Chains A and B, each alone.
Chain A
């Protein structure tokens, strides 16, 4: 049983180690501690170590970079110790002295690189598949040559959106699609858009930049702050213009736009943080109010659902399996096999790629055992990693929902 909660209060991680009662539950929940002895576990790395760290002193011990930032420790903590936040600050202090590393620098700025990948798609795709190029990338940049790499989109989602006008509806939400949907996998974005519009919700697309989740996760606060100051202002305006919620496609973006922005970046949320939800939580709320009127056709799908760590951390629960299982023909089983290990850029770095694969072994084994047609997860990182580890195709759960809509064309 995992305790779920919303975490939006202001934090002072330098002091919030006090309530830790050393129960060590976090260690049992930590995916990294289970696969390597090099990481001392969230209790030692978080509240225990923080107690010994002085103000303004650099943080030593490269083990801090082994924390994936999955937030599982924080989610299970009975004393509300913000362990993941403590580690984030420690990572930042470590990076200030020891640098971020080239791989981290490149991949945390994927939002700048990916549009170029999409523009020069044929060459970029070739480079990604070309083993020699990947070998060079590992040697030169420290990017794991076996790690999953996202494809580049034929048409960027933002390009499509320029010509798209959502029909007016009784309800209106702001949709934050995120850079991965934009440059790498617009299909998820199209599905979310379709589902919301089919539910009679007007979808407003506010101007947006990268949420900075990868930057924050690497302790790279300054760039992330600039981006999210822009995002918060833009989303605030969307709320002022009558949007009732901010629907975010990816749980990691949602987490970065809710609490993670708050304290590490020191940005005043102006009411935005509290309005951020994932798609299925929003749909669930509509249904609870008796306002979800979607008609489905018989859609035979045998799927497994993987709950992303950051979805858990959001605190709304995983609402996709329940809704999807109401569709005739759809069977969704919840994997419940822990973290997939990718953790954004973590699984892509040569330094931590093997660890990421070891963490994901549980998920891979369960998928191999169940042999579903497709694995569903809201998180694009999890999707990449699960396909990488198992060869089973993956989708955003919104894609299954969209395909099952009564007026959908038959799926390919």
Chain B
């Protein structure tokens, strides 16, 4: 049986951050992720590196954490961050007192917040609703949550950690009360890993997993739905200057804009459904902020769950629950030594969450090494400049014809080949997508899915007879996000994709392979 010091369960940004932190301190780590890195809440978030302004009025501790970590993440992972800056804009009808409370909250939390003339704001962002009444400039930024998770995992791997995707934990190993490892399942079968400490960093899945270990963790799962528009309407993060509510945040993400979010309590992190009423709110509020939304092309919609920690599970939409995080030592709390949970928190504060978790683990392991993640860049900063979407455009120059696998997002054969070793020998186009943006453009995999499949086949990743299944799985996964916004241009796009895959490739037939 395999042995290690720490097993981290969950490959979201928190789990990857914990693995990175522990590996850097010289602790042996195996990270197990049921699907792919950033599959859960991490990859379904807004992609906002919070300045903390969203919590400045009612959650000052979270606000302070956000601004501190915002500055650290920019420093240690500049290639994952686009320092867009942000604006908070007030529209007619918004509670005017919020503006002043926000400024005061920002001052108290130490968030740089500068009032801006409406005319100047409109000059910075001409797509904004021209009726805005007041504006503030904020240090928000856009962050690529997939890349941030992957870069943490890669940094951990360089320090000796093992990252295993598509490895689902199905049980815990016990020695009396003590949790001494996990049993997990991957493509090859079931395996066991013994560990001195098991860390649950499984977000919304943390609750059922803890229950599996006989431990109760109170958690409210708050679903947030978001819509991706095909165009980058604004170059800055646009906040609505009002008490946090539905659909008051538009974030530029590469060539797209993302509007979100809603907040609806759900029982499980699996099988999330985006409701029509959510889309109505997202799009109509989006039009309020940026009128061009009405003519824009909706690319897809997606939903994630905020795993909000709460000892007593509350009713309501979860907006009143702290966005703070908690490290739970189940040895002390539930008489299950060897098990630690990290719950709550935010993408922006992932590093601090990882630091506190690793501190707790080191304490349990009697390892006396200080955390250094705040001062060590994830990568050699010289080698990787700021994340800029125009770099992709530059690839057009360098990429020979026929070498561009995904034309919408400009992903070359070379870029895909480079990440194939990270796929654990599995052919999964979604894993390629998460690492390269393949299939994330307007055609949503229409033209690149079969090319990507052919590439993986040529590299020997696709097992005989498996091709149609690999392709079908990705097409269905892409369609699940298109389905809620199936109108206009995206409907026409899907008609073409349908013709391609179902008419030409017979992908709608049972005997397709």
Contact = CB atoms under 8 A, between A and B. Distances in A.
A37 interface: yes
Nearest to B254: A52
B230 interface: yes
B97 to A, nearest CB: 34
A23 interface: yes
Contact of A22 (B254, B292, B390, B443): B443
B473 interface: no
A137 interface: no
A40 B396 contact: yes
A55 interface: yes
Interface stretch (B268-276, B373-381, B397-405, B462-470): B397-405
A50 to B, nearest CB: 9
Interface string B356-396: 00000000000000000000000000000000011011101
B502 interface: no
B401 A54 contact: no
B106 interface: no
Nearest to A36: B401
Contacts of A45: 396
Given A21-B443, A22-B407, A22-B447, A52 B401 contact: no
Interface string A56-71: 0100110100000000
Interface stretch (A12-20, A147-155, A201-209, A320-328): A12-20
A407 B345 CA distance: 92
A73 to B, nearest CB: 15
Interface in B294-350: 295-297
Contacts of B394: 60-61
B281 interface: no
Contact of B297 (A18, A52, A63): A18
B235 interface: yes
A97 interface: no
A298 interface: no
A225 interface: no
B408 A22 contact: yes
Given A37-B401, A43-B407, A79-B492, A49 B447 contact: no
A223 interface: no
Contacts, number: 81
A222 B254 CA distance: 32
Given A21-B443, A52-B389, A15 B231 contact: yes
B496 A22 contact: yes
B404 A44 contact: yes
Contact of B407 (A48, A57, A61): A48
B442 A20 contact: yes
Contact of B410 (A15, A37, A48, A53): A48
B59 interface: no
B493 A21 contact: yes
A191 B266 CA distance: 78
Given A49-B396, A52-B255, A18 B489 contact: yes
Contact of B235 (A22, A55, A60, A79): A55
A54 B496 contact: no
A51 interface: yes
B396 A51 contact: no
A85 B489 CA distance: 20
B497 to A, nearest CB: 9
A44 B393 CA distance: 10
B124 to A, nearest CB: 10
B47 interface: no
Nearest to B233: A15
Nearest to B490: A21
B145 interface: no
Interface string A297-309: 0000000000000
A44 B396 CA distance: 8
B229 to A, nearest CB: 9
B393 A52 contact: yes
Given A22-B407, A40-B401, A61-B394, A54 B235 contact: yes
B458 to A, nearest CB: 21
B231 A51 contact: yes
A215 B255 CA distance: 31
Residues of B contacting A: mostly: loop
B390 A52 contact: yes
A63 B397 contact: yes
B446 interface: yes
Contacts of B396: 40, 44-45, 49, 61, 63
A19 B341 CA distance: 47
A18 B408 contact: no
Interface in B185-230: 230
Contact of A60 (B255, B393, B410, B442): B393
Most chain B CB inside 10 Å of its own CB: which residue of A24, A44, A60: A44
B467 to A, nearest CB: 22
Interface in A181-210: none
Nearest to B500: A23
Nearest to A24: B447
B321 to A, nearest CB: 38
Contacts of A41: 401
B407 A44 contact: yes
A197 B230 CA distance: 54
Interface in B238-294: 254-255, 292
Nearest to B256: A51
A223 to B, nearest CB: 27
Contact of B230 (A18, A55, A57): A18
A30 to B, nearest CB: 12
B381 to A, nearest CB: 23
A21 B390 contact: no
B296 A21 contact: no
B297 A19 contact: yes
A37 B398 CA distance: 11
A45 B393 CA distance: 10
Contacts of B295: 15, 18
Contacts of B292: 15
Interface in B126-152: 126
A402 B2 CA distance: 93
B489 to A, nearest CB: 5
A57 B496 contact: no
Contacts of A57: 390
Contacts of B401: 37, 40-41
Contacts of B393: 49, 52-53, 60-61
A16 to B, nearest CB: 10
Nearest to A23: B496
A376 B123 CA distance: 52
Nearest to B496: A21
Contacts of A61: 393-394, 396-397
Nearest to A20: B442
Contacts of A48: 407-408, 410, 441
A21 B489 contact: yes
A52 B410 CA distance: 10
A18 B295 CA distance: 9
Contacts of A54: 232, 235, 389-390
Nearest to A47: B442
B287 to A, nearest CB: 15
Contacts of B443: 21-22
Contacts of A44: 396, 404, 407
Most chain A CB inside 10 Å of its own CB: which residue of B126, B292, B297, B401: B401
A197 B492 CA distance: 50
Contacts of B489: 18-19, 21, 79
Interface of A: 15, 18-24, 37, 40-41, 43-45, 48-49, 51-55, 57, 60-61, 63, 79
7 contacts: A18-B231, A20-B442, A22-B443, A23-B496, A52-B410, A54-B389, A54-B390
- The 10 lowest CB-CB distance pairs between A and B, nearest first, are A22-B443, A18-B297, A52-B393, A51-B255, A21-B493, A37-B401, A19-B489, A52-B255, A61-B397, A21-B496
Given A19-B492, A22-B408, A48-B441, 10 more contacts: A18-B231, A18-B296, A37-B400, A40-B401, A49-B393, A51-B230, A52-B410, A54-B390, A55-B235, A57-B390
